[in-house]
Every structure is written in structure tokens, then in C-alpha cells.
């Protein structure tokens, strides 16, 4: 990206953001003492004009008293590219927990004005993130605390990353890559991070206590008392009913929410940044089947076929899954069909890459699609954003599917009348509810999905995130108390693959990261 394009993007964003920070600056009586203009920029490029332009923008919006700073990995090349020498912008560093900090702090001094280089680790890693299919990240409490003490005992400073673990609600989980763009590693919904303050706010753990002891040793004032853990509740099992198949929420023959083109369009080109896009085309039946290949898929696709001329209403039949990290071809079975066969490709955005060389991470189908090495042309694309349900349009077929008598809607379309077993691999919406009798019983809880396949959960219209216990390691989704309410609480699940045969989920009072094979080793950035 050119300097002018980068600057334009930042100017639009900062033009909205920075004025909101002015009342919160330290000199205005607020808590903000430093503002970071770039983060690890030296890992990506060497553009001093861009960095200086950021300084000008920040000073224009925030004034000349606030401390501006950058952070870069603690090696010379990164600091040379990502920092501005002198005293206009303070240069901080980050490095792996357990590295000897003081040679790195000595290097840091070279990029700051004399006497103006307080040793600062701007990202002291208390734990690490986890990707789907990995073992849950855990780091030793005592060694983490010992690494922090090496910094503090010589009057260095550190910003704990993370001090408080979190949750990737909705579709805001990120991803990383390995050796290349296809080596894609999407993050869990949980961002607990094995941080001293857990995802749910709990502090009764060895890491919190070990870090607190170190901080108390070097603090000039007594530390405040330790709060108790948040109360958790079990609200019992929640029984669900299937309300509608995902494909039944579309009128494929008369839809205004459709995009058409000769070749597939990325998700962003149809005005959608998160969620799913359904790609539809048709192809000629062929004895022995066909081979489907999508050279560039971001990130995961479930593939279905149907024969419109069949008497049963041409339900889409699941034929397989294609995943970005496998880049696999898929065999489509031979089907006797008196018309062209419909091909449905449901593509999920699993989270954008947020570190490394492949951060420009468009989603959807980014290449031509091939059947037996021949390009397939003539596509329809249906966006499925699945924001929080209460943020969508006045008439929302998904809300209708979840909360009202959707059977009346689909009964008027004879082609949709079809008895499907719960074991179907066709994506479907399920809903249920549970009651909380008293206001003082509204507490944090977790929803266990250990017997389900893969999908999305909404609680009271709020998207609490993805589940994928088949891949693991996360089994339960965190539900903070503010999402819940006294009285009836509604649960909606979009199950993409294999619902629990009993159609039940359980509310539990603790997290669980033991699902799936999760046998891969932990990847560190």
C-alpha cells in the first residue's frame, strides 16, 4: 500500500477517533498518558514519510503535550524501520517473555534522545493466543512472574499483554499465518490468553497471585485489595427446536439481495466484511462425477448440490468441505439429473489475518472455480452477514426463522416442504429459551456445545461467537451477565454441520478447553 493510501485510511479513522480522546488526555484530567502512533511497523515496511505524517496528524488533533510513541520488536532492523529517532516520538520495544530484557533496552536507547529512554516493554506476554485445532495455550505462572521481575528490579517498566483475557464476540476473532498465505490459523472465540485476569474476570489463579507478588515488591504504594471471582450460574439444559434450514431463508428465484457476475466476487465486493456468502451456479451432469477445485478460498466452504428436476423439491445435498489450509480438491458425485445441477458453495470468513505479510486478507472466493479443470462461469452471490440479529433490517428472514412461526412462511413454497433428519449436514437454525426468575440470579454463565458440530450462537440477539468442538479445543462459549435478563432468555444456533441428536445444550459455570483432537503444538508469533 502506498504512503498516500495508508495516510488516507488513517486520516479517515483518526479524524473520527482522536477528537473523542482529547477530553481523556492526562493534561485534561483524564487517564491517557501516551498515544501510540504505530505498532510493530518495522516488521512490515520502511516508510519514514508515513510515520512523520502520523506525527503531524496526532499533534494536530491531540496537541503537543501528549507523549507519542511507537513499539517495535527488540531487534535493530525492526527499530530502524519502525521508529523515529530523537525525542519527537518515544520508541518502545517488545520481545518474547523470558528473553534477557536489558540488552534489548540498551538497544532501545539508541533510538531515543539521551536521557529520554526509560526501559519499556510495551507488550509483556503473560500468555498466548490459541488457534482452532491446537492445545489451549498455557504458560507457567512462576516463570512469567520471574521474567517480569527481571524488568522491574532495575526500574524498567512493562505493559502486560494481556492483563485481562477477553472474548472474540461476533465475528471479531482474528487469525495468523505460517509459512505462506494458505497456512492459515484462525483464532478461537475465547481470547482468555492464559492471562492473570481470566476471560470472565476471575483472579483466583496462580498467575495472578505470582504477578501480584512481584508488582507489590516494587510498588511504592500498597496494592488495592483483590476482588473475588465473579459469580457464575448454571441455568440447566436448554432444549431447542429446528426452525428453518439456512437455504430456506432465501428466495433464489426472486431475490433483491443478490449479486451476479461471470466469475465469483470476494465478500468485500458485495458490501460485506464478516459472516458468510452463499455462491450459487449450475453445471452439466456427467457420468462419474466431477472434480471441484478453488485455487484461492478464504476461508472455509461447505459444498452442496441439487437437481432441480427431482420431485422431492431438490433439497441441497452436502458433498464435502474445502478448507483454505488444506487447499483440497473435492469430488462431486455423479447424479442422474434431467436438468443442470445446482452447485451451492457456502463460504465462511473465519477471521482476518492480523499479523505478518498477509494482512491484506480478502474473504470469500478469490479465484476462478474449476470443474474438471474448466472454469465455471455464471454466479449468483447471496450475502449472509449475520450481525447481531437485532441490528438487521425490519424484515429479517433469519429473525423470522428463529422467533416466529416460520413454518407458515415455508409452507407456501412447496419446494421447501421436506422432512429432514436431525443428522442432516444442511445448515439450519435452532432456537430455545431458558428462564431466570429473579434479578439477583442473572450471572455469568457458559454454554456447552460439546455435542454439536460447528456454528454460531446468539443469546438475546447478541452474537456470542463461533463454536467448533469437533476441531477444539474450546467446548464452551462465555456468556456475560449483561447479555442476560430476568425472565425469558432466547438462544438461537446456526449449526453448519451436525447438531446434537438430542437438540440440547447445557449452561455450565466454567470454561472447558478439552474438545477435539487438539494435538497440534502451540504456534508462537
Catalytic residue annotation: 40, 123
Distance between CA atoms of residues 210 and 213, nearest Å: 5
Best CA proximity match to 41, nearest among 99, 87, 1, 101: 1
Question: CA 83 → CA 92, 298, 373, distances in Å?
Answer: 9, 33, 48
Best CA proximity match to 522, nearest among 199, 173, 138: 138
Distance between CA atoms of residues 358 and 179, nearest Å: 11
**Three cell numbers, residue 280:** 450459487
* 8 Å CB contact between 120 and 152: no
Distance between CA atoms of residues 275 and 164, nearest Å: 27
Dihedral over alpha carbons 202, 204, 206, 210 (to 10 degrees)? 90
Helix (H) or strand (E) run with residue 143 in it: helix 141-152
Distance between CA atoms of residues 432 and 492, nearest Å: 7
Best CA proximity match to 485, nearest among 437, 431, 519, 419: 437
Quickly list DSSP for 255-311. Answer: -SS-EEESS---GGGGT--SSEEEEEEEE---TT-EEEE-SSEESEEEEEEE-TTST
**For residue 259, how many other CB atoms are within 10 A of its CB?**
17
Using CA of residue 296, residue 298, residue 299, residue 304, what is the dihedral sign? Answer: negative
Distance between CA atoms of residues 397 and 403, nearest Å: 10
**Three cell numbers, residue 510:** 466454567
The residue to which cell 491484506 is assigned: 360
Residues present in the chain in total: 525
Distance between CA atoms of residues 470 and 451, nearest Å: 8
* 8 Å CB contact between 453 and 499: yes
* 8 Å CB contact between 236 and 507: yes
**Three cell numbers, residue 172:** 471479531
Rg (CA), the chain: 26
Helix (H) or strand (E) run with residue 410 in it: helix 406-411
Amino acid at each position: 500500500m502506498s504512503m498516500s493510501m495508508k495516510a488516507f485510511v488513517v486520516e479517515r479513522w483518526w479524524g473520527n477517533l482522536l477528537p473523542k480522546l482529547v477530553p481523556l488526555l492526562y493534561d485534561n484530567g483524564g487517564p491517557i498518558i501516551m498515544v501510540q502512533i504505530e505498532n510493530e511497523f518495522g516488521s512490515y515496511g520502511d516508510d519514514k514519510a508515513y510515520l512523520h505524517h502520523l506525527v503531524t496528524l496526532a499533534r494536530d488533533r491531540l496537541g503537543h503535550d501528549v507523549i507519542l510513541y511507537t513499539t517495535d520488536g527488540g531487534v535493530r532492523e525492526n527499530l530502524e524501520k519502525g521508529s523515529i529517532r530523537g525525542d519527537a516520538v518515544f520508541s518502545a520495544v517488545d520481545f518474547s517473555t523470558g528473553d534477557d530484557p536489558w540488552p534489548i533496552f540498551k538497544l532501545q536507547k539508541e533510538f531515543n534522545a539521551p536521557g529520554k529512554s526509560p526501559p519499556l516493554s510495551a507488550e509483556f506476554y503473560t500468555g498466548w493466543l490459541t488457534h482452532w485445532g491446537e492445545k489451549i495455550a498455557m504458560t507457567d505462572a512462576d516463570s512469567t512472574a520471574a521474567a517480569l521481575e527481571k524488568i522491574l528490579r532495575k526500574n524498567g517498566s512493562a505493559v502486560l499483554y494481556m492483563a485481562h483475557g477477553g472474548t472474540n464476540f461476533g465475528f471479531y476473532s482474528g487469525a495468523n499465518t505460517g509459512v505462506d498465505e494458505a497456512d492459515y490459523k484462525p483464532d478461537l472465540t475465547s481470547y482468555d490468553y492464559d492471562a492473570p485476569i481470566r476471560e470472565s474476570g476471575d483472579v483466583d489463579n496462580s498467575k495472578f497471585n505470582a504477578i501480584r507478588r512481584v508488582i507489590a515488591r516494587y510498588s511504592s504504594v500498597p496494592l488495592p485489595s483483590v476482588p473475588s471471582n465473579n459469580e457464575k450460574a448454571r441455568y440447566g439444559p436448554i432444549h431447542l427446536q429446528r426452525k428453518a434450514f439456512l437455504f430456506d431463508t432465501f428466495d433464489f428465484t426472486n431475490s433483491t439481495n443478490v449479486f451476479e457476475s461471470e466469475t465469483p466476487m470476494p465478500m468485500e465486493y458485495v458490501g460485506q466484511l464478516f459472516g458468510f456468502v452463499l455462491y450459487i451456479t449450475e453445471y452439466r451432469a456427467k457420468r462419474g462425477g466431477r472434480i471441484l477445485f478453488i485455487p484461492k478460498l478464504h476461508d472455509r466452504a461447505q459444498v452442496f448440490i441439487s437437481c432441480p428436476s427431482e420431485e422431492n423439491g431438490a433439497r441441497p445435498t452436502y458433498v464435502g468441505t474445502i478448507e483454505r489450509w488444506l487447499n483440497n480438491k473435492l469430488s462431486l458425485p455423479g447424479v442422474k439429473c434431467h436438468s443442470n445441477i445446482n452447485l451451492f458453495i457456502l463460504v465462511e470468513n473465519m477471521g482476518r489475518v492480523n499479523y505478518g505479510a498477509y494482512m491484506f486478507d480478502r474473504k470469500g472466493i478469490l479465484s476462478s472455480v474449476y470443474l474438471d479443470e474448466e472454469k465455471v462461469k455464471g454466479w449468483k452471490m447471496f450475502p449472509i452477514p449475520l450481525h447481531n440479529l437485532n441490528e438487521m433490517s425490519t424484515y429479517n428472514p433469519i429473525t423470522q426463522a428463529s422467533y416466529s412461526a416460520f413454518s407458515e412462511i415455508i409452507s407456501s413454497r412447496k419446494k421447501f416442504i421436506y422432512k429432514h433428519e436431525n443428522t442432516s449436514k444442511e445448515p439450519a437454525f435452532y432456537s430455545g429459551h431458558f428462564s431466570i426468575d429473579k434479578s439477583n440470579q442473572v450471572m455469568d454463565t457458559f454454554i456447552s456445545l460439546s455435542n454439536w458440530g460447528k456454528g454460531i450462537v446468539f443469546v438475546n440477539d447478541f452474537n456470542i461467537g463461533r463454536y467448533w468442538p469437533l476441531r477444539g479445543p474450546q467446548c464452551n462459549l462465555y456468556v456475560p451477565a449483561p447479555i442476560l435478563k430476568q425472565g425469558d432468555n432466547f438462544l438461537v444456533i446456526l449449526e453448519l454441520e451436525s447438531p446434537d441428536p438430542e437438540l440440547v445444550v447445557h449452561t455450565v459455570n466454567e470454561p472447558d478447553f478439552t474438545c477435539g483432537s487438539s494435538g497440534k503444538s502451540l504456534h508462537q508469533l
